[in-house]
């Protein structure tokens, strides 16, 4: 699953609420969460 947001507080809210569901530890095993910020420059 790939999630994208412009608001880091929205991401934190999403993760906090996801942990309260069966998704987090019943249906899937969460191995890694790799946060990344897109660069603010032109390549």
pLDDT of residue 18: 82
Buried b (16+ CB within 10 A) or exposed e, 7-31: eeeeeeeeeeeeeeeeeeeeeeeee
C-alpha separations of 22 from 6, 15, 28, 36, 37 in Å: 26, 13, 9, 25, 28
Q: What is the pLDDT of residues 1-42, one digit of tens each?
A: 777 778 888 888 888 888 888 777 777 777 787 777 666 655
Query: What predicted TM-score, i.e. pTM, was given to this entire model?
Result: 0.48
pLDDT of residue 38: 66
Helices (H), 1-43: 8-19, 22
pLDDT of residue 30: 73
């Amino acid at each position: 699953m790939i999630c994208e947001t412009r608001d880091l507080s929205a991401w934190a809210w999403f993760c906090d609420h996801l942990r309260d569901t069966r998704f987090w530890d019943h249906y899937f095993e969460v191995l890694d969460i790799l946060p990344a910020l897109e660069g603010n420059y032109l390549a």
